[in-house]
Structure 1
Amino acid sequence: MNRTAIRDLATALHRVGEHGDALAAINPGPEQLHLIREDLEHARQLLAAAAGPAPTTRCPEHPTGPVEPDTDGECLLCRIRRGRGAAAAEVAHQEVTAAQVLEVIDELGTDTAIRQFGGRAVSAAIASTTRTPTTSTGT
């Protein structure tokens, strides 16, 4: 059971109850009925969420995703995405020439060049020549 959704559900049900109190006092128009319909639909969605699994992470994007080891509920998927973004930004700041990339490919293989410069730089370097990529045989 998802305790976070239960708090939100309680708030939504209170709001629906306020509509019930107001209906007893007035004759509702189409605008009021539309608002009641929206609040009821929202409460229904929260009820379904409350019955679902409890979140494993504190991440709003991946609430039931994998947890980063040795953390207090940090989302592993978001950490990996942030790490890839930082690595790509670091490579982008380096002024890498195709010759430098091709040199690493010749010495250490394509896999190492991809780890060092990123796939885009390796692809561009290979495309700038008529050569075929070599694969690394070592670690």
Structure 2
Amino acid sequence: MNRTQLPDLARVLLALGSYGQRLDPANATAEQLEIVARAVEEARRLTQAARFPGCPRHPDGPFDPTDGGACLLCRTRRFKTQHADRPPVEDVLRDVAELGEEEAARRHTGRVVTLALAAAGRGTHAYPPNTRRRSDP
């Protein structure tokens, strides 16, 4: 069970409980019943969201509700291992200097070349960024 939804669920259930004590069948209005119906739907939605099975490694960890409850900690670890096999920045920059950007992009992929150039403080454009201040001579 994912426990990140429980505070919101508790809030909705407390609001429902307060309406249960205030509602009287003789004077219940349509607006009050509509508010109760929305709160019940919200409680149902939060209950469904809390049913995502927790990650076996991180049972109380954060999850991504848009991705079916995938564990964000495991996703970060997977992302790091996927990108751990990148060639060293120095090798990519050497290939860029020796072969040019296009050939280096063919060898290493455009993304790796762009990341290496950015890490080296160089852009991929022909003109350097304007780093002068007005007070500079």
TM-score, normalised to structure 2, is 0.48
Relative to its length, the structure with more helix (as a share) is 1
TM-score, normalised to structure 1, is 0.47
